[in-house]
Each structure stands twice: as structure tokens, then as C-alpha cells.
Amino acid sequence: MNKKLILLDASSIATSSCMRKWKFTVLDGLVPDRISWSMEAGTAFHKGLKAFYSKKDLQVCQQEAEDYLDKFLCPDNTHITSTYLSLALLAYIKKYQNDILKPLQLDGELLLEKTFKFPLYSDDNIEIVLVGTIDFIGELGGQLLIVDHKTTSSTYKNSFLAGFRLSPQLLTYDFVVRKILKLGDEVSCMINAIFFWKAGAQFERSEIISFTKDLRDTYEEELRELCKKIACCYAANYWPVGCFTVCKEEYGPCRFQPICCVEPEYQQNVIDISYTKRIYNPLQFQKD
């Protein structure tokens, strides 16, 4: 029998408090038909930053961001347009023109948007592979650093940045850099935040975040437990909802609420009308 290949990334790990949500996301590959403009604008800015750190050319990085965003129809009610992003990139480059943060090079490759794949679990039914893309692995004054770029419209800089102190995404990247890329245990993390405010983009970086050995061990144990939970749910085809505790997310309802709010016999109709199915491949989404 062919085993089911499951690609697990930091985003899908974050959905696993509700296994129904995890299944909709990863196994069913359900994506709401309406696009999230702020998410696509964030991806465009990431592409601009990658070009800035690799090519050091303002026009090239503005073009990269614009080319990406132009694939989508800009809604009327947003201030984050292609022009806004170009100005934001200009402001970012001005602010950090003498930046001592530099990307690392490994075997001739700059560690920008570094993809990884790591086998985590296998049984008779499934194979789970940890995958993802790390925005930036670099060095700041001799400190090995994982940097994650975060774009947001939040107006609360300090509380936004403080929210990442125990981020599963950073813990995942910390695990990858130590165990897969084998760059050593002395690695820390930092959030490079871009605030898309109406009055103009603002930039702020978090404190340097280092994880204790206890946190790292606990996270690895949790990853192993998650793999076992996925295997059990898959074998039983039973997907518990976790007492509905995560149906409300930080910025609104879970994207699958329209499905869960109707009787089971109507759920497939809602899926057909409001969602598109695609194979869940985080490495492919990040290339698009």
C-alpha cells in the first residue's frame, strides 16, 4: 500500500490544536476562495526584502514586490498598494542602510528564504516530513541569528513583537538550524517587523530571542507527540475539534467556520461553493 505523504510546516503545526482544522488545511487542502490581500502584500514585501539582501538594488527589489502583487486584483478599501510597498521598501532600505545584520553563506548559497525538508515520522499508513522556508539566517555582531520578517497592520508594536517570545514557528526554525543545517546550538531568533500603517510603513525589530535547553527538548517532544496524534487520527479517520477553543483567531474567525457552522449533510455544499482544493505544499506556495 502507498503511504500518504504529509508535509508538515510551522503554519500547519499552529492549526493542530483543532485536528479538524489541521485536516481541512493539510489533508483536504481547502483554501477559502477570497484571497487575503494583506497576506499577499506581505509575501510581496518578503520578495522585495530577499532581493534587497541578495542584490542590494532598490529598483530590483521594488520590481520583485510589484511583479508579485500585480498578479492580484487590488481591493478598493486598502492603503497597501504597489506604490505603498515601493515606498515602504525605500524607507526600509534607508533605515537599515548601515545594517550590521548580514545573511550567512553556506556552500556558496546565501541563506535567504532557505527551504528545508526533514523526515519526522513513518508508519504503515503515513510518512510525515517537516518542511518550510526560513526567511533569513545570518549574523549580527557575531551572533548566529534566524530572522523572520513579519508584516502586519497592528498598531501595537511592543505587544505584537512580544507575542513571538514562544512562537512555534521560531521553535521549529531553531530546531531546523540546529538539527538539519547543523549550524550549532548557539543560535537565536529575531523578528524583523514591518508595520503597514496608513501614515507610512514603520519598522521595528524584536529583542534577540534565545531558547533554553528545556524549551528545545519540550518542543521536540511535542513534535513527536503531534506526529503520533496525526497517525492515530489518520488511522481512525477521526478529527477532534479541541473543544472549539481556537474557532476565534487573533484577527477574526477561523477560516473554516462556514463549514463547521452548518449540519454535516450541508458541509460538502459549503466546501464546493466557498473553497478551492489544492495539494497542501508549503514549499510550492512560497514559490508562487
Q: Give the residues lining the site for ligand SF4 (CB under 6 A).
A: 18, 20-21, 24, 241, 244, 246-247, 254, 256-257, 260
CB of 245 to ligand SF4, least distance (A): 8
Question: What type of residue is 134?
Answer: I
Q: Are 227 and 128 in contact (CB under 8 A)?
A: yes
Measured CA distances, 216 to 101, 120, 144, 220 (Å)? 25, 16, 17, 6
Which of 272, 2, 271 has the alpha carbon at shortest distance from 122? 2
When the beta carbons of 163 and 242 are compared against ligand SF4, the nearer one is 242
CB of 31 to ligand SF4, least distance (A): 14
Query: Which residue spans within the chain are E strands per DSSP?
Result: 4-8, 30-32, 101-103, 105-106, 109-110, 112-122, 126-140, 143-152, 187-197, 200-205, 248-249, 252-253, 275-277
When the beta carbons of 215 and 261 are compared against ligand SF4, the nearer one is 261
CB of 242 to ligand SF4, least distance (A): 7
When the beta carbons of 20 and 114 are compared against ligand SF4, the nearer one is 20
When the beta carbons of 25 and 43 are compared against ligand SF4, the nearer one is 25
CB of 266 to ligand SF4, least distance (A): 14
**Residues 214-217: contacts with CB under 8 Å, at least 24 apart:** 215/166, 215/171, 216/171, 216/174, 216/175, 216/178
Q: Are 32 and 274 in contact (CB under 8 A)?
A: yes
When the beta carbons of 181 and 230 are compared against ligand SF4, the nearer one is 230
CB of 8 to ligand SF4, least distance (A): 17
